[in-house]
Amino acid sequence: MSMAVAVPPFETFYETHKTEVFRFLVRRVGPDRAEDAFQETFLKALRAYDRLEHGEHLRAWALTIASRIVVDGARRARPQGEMPELATEDARPAFEELAPMTDELPPKERAAVVLRYGYDLGYDEIGEALGSTESAARQAASAGVRRLRKEQDR
């Protein structure tokens, strides 16, 4: 058992992750829309920040919020009723299809799935972001995908 990592002051969290979050957003939505998405991401983080119970996985948390904002933005831009189905036969489902469904996953699996398919991180990086190992990250991602497929088949 290790001690829970304390939540750092928001300034520290923001300074640590702002560049990576911005780069991620530029890649996902382009430089113009990245600016608003950036602000939205960190305002959303700020709104939830005083309810965090520990300071672990904050990098994964920040990237997950950014991913959700990209997805929500894409959904708003698309006409109603045209959300794509999750392609079950695709070994690497597109993240936009996956993200709305990952809410119910256990946190570690959700973070692994989002970072693997949304952010395209390697399992070594995901392991690092989650404070665990490469193989644990691989397992969490594949367990998450299996769970999503089961959900969809139901």
Partner 1 sequence: MTIPTPELDERFRAAAADEGLLDVAYDVFDDTAMGPLLVGVTARGVCRISFDPEPEKELELLARAYGPRVLRSSRPVDRLHRELDEYLEGRRRAFDVDLDLRAQPAFYLRVLEELAGVGYGETTTYGTLAARAGNPRAARAVGTVMNRNPVPIVLPCHRVVGANGSLTGYGGGLHRKEQLLRLEGAIL
Distance from C-alpha of 97 to C-alpha of 127, rounded to nearest angstrom: 23
Which of 28, 38, 65, 105: binder of partner 1 (CB under 8 A)? 38
Does the footprint of partner 1 cover residue 120 (CB under 8 A)? Answer: no
Does the footprint of partner 1 cover residue 3 (CB under 8 A)? Answer: no
Q: Degrees (nearest 5) of the Cα angle 13, 129, 143?
A: 135
Distance from C-alpha of 120 to C-alpha of 56, rounded to nearest angstrom: 21
Name the residue nearer to partner 1 (CB basis): 37 or 140: 37
What is the smallest separation between the CB atom of 50 and partner 1, expressed in angstroms?
Answer: 6
Distance from C-alpha of 17 to C-alpha of 61, rounded to nearest angstrom: 10
Residues in region 88-117 near partner 1 by CB under 8 A: none
Helix (H) or strand (E) holding 142: helix 134-153
Stretch that binds partner 1, among 7-15, 68-76, 82-90, 95-103 (CB under 8 A): 7-15
Does the footprint of partner 1 cover residue 42 (CB under 8 A)? Answer: yes
- Reported as half-sphere exposure (CB side, CA atoms, 13 A), residue 114 has a value of 30
Question: How many residues make contact with partner 1 (CB under 8 A)?
Answer: 23
Does the footprint of partner 1 cover residue 23 (CB under 8 A)? Answer: yes
